[in-house]
Structure 1
Amino acid sequence: MHRRSLVASVVTAAMVAVLGVTSAAAAAVVTTSERVYLPPGGAVTIAGHGFGHGRGLSQWGARGAATQGVGYQDILDFYYPGTTRVTQNNAEIRVLVSADDDNEVRVVAQDGMTASDTRNTRRPIGFPGETVTQWRIVRQAEGLFLHGLVNGAWRPWSQGASSSFLGIEAPSGTVRLLLPNGTSKLYRGSVRAVEDGAAPRLRTVNALPMESYLRSVVPSESPSSWPADALRAQAVAARTYASFDRAARPSAPWHTCDTTSCQVYPGYRTYNSAGVVTTTHEASTTDAAIAGTANQVRYFGGAPAFTQFSSSNGGWTASGSLAYQVAKPDPWDAIGNPVHSWSLRVTTERLRTAYPQVGTPRYVETSRRTGDGEWGGRVVDVVIAGSSGSVTVSGSAFRSALGLRSDWWKLTGSTRLDSDTTADGRPDLVAVMNDGSLRSYEGTGDGGFAGWRQVGKGWSGMRLVVRANDLTSDGRTDVLAVDQTGVLWRYEPDGKGGFGSATKVGPGWGGFRMIVMPGDIDGDGAVDMLAIDSGGVMWQYPGRGDGSFQSRFRVGPGWGGMTAVLGGGDWTGDGRVDFVARAADGRLFLYQGGVNGGFSGRQIGTGWSGMRLLTVVDDWDGDTRPDVLASGSDGALRIYPWLGDRFGSPRVIGSAWDVVRVLS
């Protein structure tokens, strides 16, 4: 995976300006309001897409394309639109060796070694009649000096001080560099010391032909077992990337670095402290890809393009500041890609550690997104608020602070209305079938279904089944069920749509007509429960965040005339949980949460009495608002999209739902 450090980003901005690359229009950033309250001492789940910044080539996408028979030139055309193919010379590239930071360069001596500096080229080095085991370059006030290790003692070589740089190479074409940690690396080309600041500071640089450099880079950036055209695309992208760096600073001591801030370059081989080869960083398949694309680069505007790449774009390329960095759907990224979608459990304590200035974290709110792809695209700005204040950071900064794979993510598995049982950031449904089996219906995030699978059996004996949001503060959406004996059970999901073993919450629930789980009613970060008894009285059970509940208190009577009460979510955009109730005459009411935990109702619809199945889900169609799913006598399942103040036109999203007894 490739990413840029802050310093590298600043340098890149300067390079773009120097080379006169045309900027692309900025993406249409959209304002959102996705506030999720955090359970005290608990966790939330973050679902995301992709791995890396998403600009340019997706390495997994290139692999997917190659498996479909797409050639490397077409792959490059897709990821770098508007760039052209150019053939260049196999010129030298100079790479900073970041691990050698002890202000000296030490190499294993070989017969026939030579030294080069600003005055002399390939001057033989050695001491007549003596055996040198190592060579060392150090920097003193006068310049750079070369010493040879003879019989355990360092002896200065006769040449005087060198200025700017002093390099060593061997007839074998490789030099073995000794590192401060006791290991060593074999590099092709030469190894040189370059002045960096005031004496005695120096840096180590490997200078070698571009095509030799790529022999280590390409298998380090893409697995050498991947299809040939994926490796060819990677070879051209890596060659162009390094050429872009070199073109920006052709006379600099080094053109690029060897870490993920530039491109991963571990050299030819790595040795342990005993001098045994542990890793060879080249492969025949990637060598073939490099040879098959020899000297090919991509140009834009008469210069090498800035061919950024990352492991996975998650299915949508990210826009950048350059004309060929455009946002668009990627048809190949999902193919065989384990990081196309991902999820991560994040504790409240981890957020506190990342943002101590906010005190105890209370909520996380996504305020702006890029507008491209699912959930509204990548996160641009996010607010973290707590007991001591709040802070607004960029989506990429939040990603870095929490170790997320990308800045394209969504909070799920939380104390708000949450329908996501598979931890993929998309709402799902849980259904008890007429035969007593339990099914999980996975949503696509845009109003459809990805499919269903059976996840349990023997549920015909359950009187009540309700999706319960995250009761235990573990970042996963739970389900509550009341059996025929009146015992309330909690089922925790396995993250794949199924459920683990049941945990007994308690007896005495046989007299309740309904259980409602709107979310965190009182704003303490824990999921609360509403229950309506046989007399029509509503009770509130404040959650503790560990799966249990505090002592109940009476909300009020008059709920006996309701045939369905459904939680919940934020229907009004005020950050508080609401719920929906259906009266016996078919009227539908929205009960809006108040500042102190109470509710106020208003009618939002009529004609709902014929709906046999009725449930509220969190944003089934991808518009960031809750929706109602319902099925009547015809067995068709319809979505009723909430528009913020009314329902939009319903549409059918499924048929034959008459086989379902309970939908949640």
Structure 2
Amino acid sequence: MTRTLSLIAAALFLALTAPAALAKPKTTFTIRGAGFGHGVGMSQYGAMGYAEHGSNAAQILAHYYSGTALGTTDPNRKVRIQLVADSTSLRISGAKQAGSRKLDPTQTYTVKRRGLTQVDLSANGKRLATFTAPLQVGGDVIALSGVGSYRGVLEFAPTVLKGLSVINSVGLDDYLQGVVPAESPASWPAEALKAQAIAARTYAITTAKSADFDHYADTRSQVYKGVGIETAATNAAVAATRGQIVTYNGQPVVTYFFSTSGGKTEDVENTTLGNEPKPWLKSVDDEYDGVSPRHRWTTKLTMRQAARKLGRLVQGTFKGIRVTKRGASPRIMTAEVVGSKGTTPTDGATLRTKFGLFDTWAYFTAISAEKAPDDGAPSTDGSGGATIPPRSFAFQWPAAAGVLRGTVVGGGSRGLVQQRVDGRWTDVAAVKLRHGAYRYTATEPGTYRVVFGDAAGPSITL
């Protein structure tokens, strides 16, 4: 018993007298970015900014789509939009005709599938007729319960599963009346709305998603919400540009558009939208995009959160992200996920998806920091960190108060050391990375951090 007590006492003495173990380094992970969308073609907020500064629709479109001019197309040509991919039962009202059968527009009807090739029409629980698919239902405006109200014709057909699909066949400019207010706020300047109408009209006739329909009703094509979203201002923009489209060498071309450029658009071949250069889809400066709330943005995560989002892209312990190639704008083309056991190649689109970012215009900075013992080594800038003159009121300690050290992945090669003074961070020194690491010897005790770009590392008390 006495021997056991002696061993415990010895162990306790050693624990109390031994040097304190250094804490595990703290790390911050900051993502700074710009823009919202794929970055190709017309920035909608930028177009709004140009309109506010006096540009008309033709000038706005000529800026974003290099070398293009305006042409015309038939505003009544039909486009086909998939409203419902698969549903077991659908209700409609406002219909005047189903196939050759006349309907009461004040009556609500139910449409269901029958077998592989037929569609039933019922009212008040009673089947009225069976049609060979596709069943075409017409009216001035047809309401599709739970979906919206639409001009043109609704087509119902059995799917390969067990339900029905619904396609809206509608005239081009009637379609646009349900697109423009869904893509650009009706309160925007008239010239911006006109530019949106022309770009959307051109996109509608130059892209098709399948043999069965031309467009989805969402961002896979362009957002379409039917009659319920129409406004006087956006309908006026469609009418004022009736049939107008964007052309290059006299031919209509694909007119991609998106929300926010961050100040510069991107060459299409540098994105997931295309592998080949297109002369009208080149990077251009976007002078007035700053009006967008997504012009600049910042996201902060813990290293654990970031690693969880990246999943199998991380080898070992997550250390950071290193961008290896950017496009004509700073949008990421290729990058590496850095782990303790190796790096994994990736690209901007993957990182955007993994982190849920607004755009691929992003900078990733991982900064670690810890208090280290002073071994007499100089700070990384070769001047003890004293490249910024010390504050006149600072008490100069005769010996170093402590050493701040750490690593940086993705933040550039030069940064600043800041000290917390009277509740504010104050620059006290410059630091330079050496092999991805920094070191700063403090001359007075306090709380310190390093900043690389706009990304701040964790605060450490020395």
Class of the TM-score when normalised by the shorter of the 2 chains? 0.7 to 0.9
SS where residue 414 of structure 1 aligns? Answer: strand
**Alignment pair present for 1:576 and 2:437:** yes
What's the offset of the Cα at 1:266?
Answer: 1.8
User: Which of residues 281, 284, 305 is equivalent to 1:325?
Assistant: 281
Kindly provide the amino acid, as one letter, of the partner of residue 306 in structure 1: V
C-alpha offsets along residues 351-400 of structure 1, whole Å, 9 cap, x if unaligned?
A: 22222222531222112212x34xxx111112113355542211111011
For the Cα contact (< 8 Å) 1:516–1:566, is it kept in 2? Answer: no
For the Cα contact (< 8 Å) 1:48–1:410, is it kept in 2? Answer: yes
What's the offset of the Cα at 1:40?
Answer: 7.2
In structure 2, what is the Cα distance between the partners aligned to 1:47 and 1:65? 26
User: Which of residues 184, 202, 226 is equivalent to 1:222?
Assistant: 184
SS where residue 238 of structure 1 aligns? Answer: helix
Aligned to 1:161: 132
For the Cα contact (< 8 Å) 2:119–2:158, is it kept in 1? Answer: no
Q: 1:399 to 1:415 in 2, by over 3 A?
A: same
What's the offset of the Cα at 1:568?
Answer: 2.4
What's the offset of the Cα at 1:132?
Answer: 5.2
C-alpha offsets along residues 518-577 of structure 1, whole Å, 9 cap, x if unaligned?
A: 5339xxxxxxx99xxxxxxxxxxxxxxxxxxxxxxxxxxxxxxxxxx9552325xx3333
In structure 2, what is the Cα distance between the partners aligned to 1:194 and 1:136? 10
What's the offset of the Cα at 1:282?
Answer: 1.4
Aligned to 2:226: 267
C-alpha offsets along residues 221-272 of structure 1, whole Å, 9 cap, x if unaligned?
A: 11111111111111111111111125x86xx321101111110112222xxx
User: Which of residues 75, 98, 106 is equivalent to 1:115?
Assistant: 98
Q: 1:50 to 1:618 in 2, by over 3 A?
A: same
**Alignment pair present for 1:341 and 2:341:** no
Aligned to 1:93: 79
C-alpha offsets along residues 324-359 of structure 1, whole Å, 9 cap, x if unaligned?
A: 11113222222x222111111122222222222225
Aligned to 2:425: none
Q: How does 1:235-634 map to 2 (within 5 A)?
A: 235-246=197-208, 252-269=211-228, 281-320=229-268, 321-334=277-290, 336-357=291-312, 358=314, 359-370=316-327, 372-373=328-329, 377-387=330-340, 389-412=342-365, 414-415=367-368, 461=393, 463=394, 510-512=397-399, 517=404, 519-520=406-407, 566-571=429-434, 574-577=435-438
For the Cα contact (< 8 Å) 2:119–2:156, is it kept in 1? Answer: no
SS where residue 281 of structure 2 aligns? Answer: coil
Kindly provide the amino acid, as one letter, of the partner of residue 115 in structure 1: A
C-alpha offsets along residues 467-500 of structure 1, whole Å, 9 cap, x if unaligned?
A: xxxxxxxxxxxxxxxxx5xxxxxxxxxxxxxxxx
SS where residue 352 of structure 2 aligns? Answer: helix
Q: 1:85 to 1:580 in 2, by over 3 A?
A: farther
In structure 2, what is the Cα distance between the partners aligned to 1:105 and 1:92? 24
For the Cα contact (< 8 Å) 1:366–1:379, is it kept in 2? Answer: yes
Q: 1:140 to 1:43 in 2, by over 3 A?
A: farther
Q: 1:310 to 1:133 in 2, by over 3 A?
A: closer
For the Cα contact (< 8 Å) 1:96–1:204, is it kept in 2? Answer: yes
**Higher RCO structure (Cα 8 Å, ≥6 apart):** 2
User: Which of residues 47, 52, 69 is equivalent to 1:84?
Assistant: 69
Cα RMSD for the two superposed structures: 3.4
C-alpha offsets along residues 271-328 of structure 1, whole Å, 9 cap, x if unaligned?
A: xxxxxxxxxx111111111111111111235542110011111111100132211113
Number of residue pairs the alignment of both structures matches: 379
In structure 1, what is the Cα distance between the partners aligned to 2:141 and 2:82? 16
For the Cα contact (< 8 Å) 1:106–1:137, is it kept in 2? Answer: no
Q: 1:413 to 1:355 in 2, by over 3 A?
A: closer
**Normalised by the size of structure 2, how large is the TM-score?**
0.73
For the Cα contact (< 8 Å) 1:333–1:340, is it kept in 2? Answer: yes
In structure 2, what is the Cα distance between the partners aligned to 1:132 and 1:231? 37
SS where residue 150 of structure 2 aligns? Answer: strand
Aligned to 1:124: 101
Runs (4 or more) in structure 1 with deviation over 4 Å come to: 39-42, 431-434, 509-518, 578-581, 616-620
For the Cα contact (< 8 Å) 1:298–1:304, is it kept in 2? Answer: yes
For the Cα contact (< 8 Å) 1:139–1:202, is it kept in 2? Answer: no
Q: 1:216 to 1:132 in 2, by over 3 A?
A: closer
For the Cα contact (< 8 Å) 2:86–2:163, is it kept in 1? Answer: no
SS where residue 415 of structure 1 aligns? Answer: strand
Aligned to 2:378: none
Kindly provide the amino acid, as one letter, of the partner of residue 201 in structure 2: R
In structure 2, what is the Cα distance between the partners aligned to 1:390 and 1:306? 37
What's the offset of the Cα at 1:147?
Answer: 1.6
What's the offset of the Cα at 1:618?
Answer: 5.1
Aligned to 1:202: 164
In structure 1, what is the Cα distance between the partners aligned to 2:45 and 2:180? 14
In structure 1, what is the Cα distance between the partners aligned to 2:148 and 2:82? 14
In structure 1, what is the Cα distance between the partners aligned to 2:135 and 2:352? 41
Kindly provide the amino acid, as one letter, of the partner of residue 311 in structure 1: S
In structure 2, what is the Cα distance between the partners aligned to 1:578 and 1:311? 42
Q: 1:40 to 1:218 in 2, by over 3 A?
A: farther
Kindly provide the amino acid, as one letter, of the partner of residue 148 in structure 1: S
For the Cα contact (< 8 Å) 1:85–1:298, is it kept in 2? Answer: yes
User: Which of residues 146, 152, 162 is equivalent to 2:120?
Assistant: 146
SS where residue 148 of structure 2 aligns? Answer: strand
What's the offset of the Cα at 1:46?
Answer: 1.1
**Normalised by the size of structure 1, how large is the TM-score?**
0.52
SS where residue 44 of structure 1 aligns? Answer: strand
User: Which of residues 190, 193, 198 is equivalent to 2:153?
Assistant: 190
Aligned to 2:411: none
What's the offset of the Cα at 1:126?
Answer: 4.9
In structure 2, what is the Cα distance between the partners aligned to 1:364 and 1:617? 17
SS where residue 66 of structure 1 aligns? Answer: helix
In structure 1, what is the Cα distance between the partners aligned to 2:264 and 2:344? 28
Gaps of 5+ in 2: 1-23, 269-276, 370-386, 409-415, 418-427, 443-449, 455-462
In structure 2, what is the Cα distance between the partners aligned to 1:328 and 1:304? 20
For the Cα contact (< 8 Å) 1:217–1:263, is it kept in 2? Answer: yes
Q: 1:259 to 1:190 in 2, by over 3 A?
A: same
**Alignment pair present for 1:136 and 2:111:** yes
Kindly provide the amino acid, as one letter, of the partner of residue 127 in structure 2: R
SS where residue 577 of structure 1 aligns? Answer: strand
In structure 2, what is the Cα distance between the partners aligned to 1:619 and 1:349? 22
In structure 2, what is the Cα distance between the partners aligned to 1:294 and 1:309? 19
What's the offset of the Cα at 1:201?
Answer: 4.5
For the Cα contact (< 8 Å) 1:568–1:580, is it kept in 2? Answer: no
In structure 2, what is the Cα distance between the partners aligned to 1:43 and 1:578? 17
In structure 1, what is the Cα distance between the partners aligned to 2:132 and 2:161? 13
What's the offset of the Cα at 1:61?
Answer: 0.7
SS where residue 364 of structure 1 aligns? Answer: strand
Q: 1:292 to 1:132 in 2, by over 3 A?
A: closer
C-alpha offsets along residues 409-456 of structure 1, whole Å, 9 cap, x if unaligned?
A: 11247338xxxxxxxxxxxxxx9999xxxxxxxxxxxxxxxxxxxxxx
SS where residue 39 of structure 2 aligns? Answer: coil
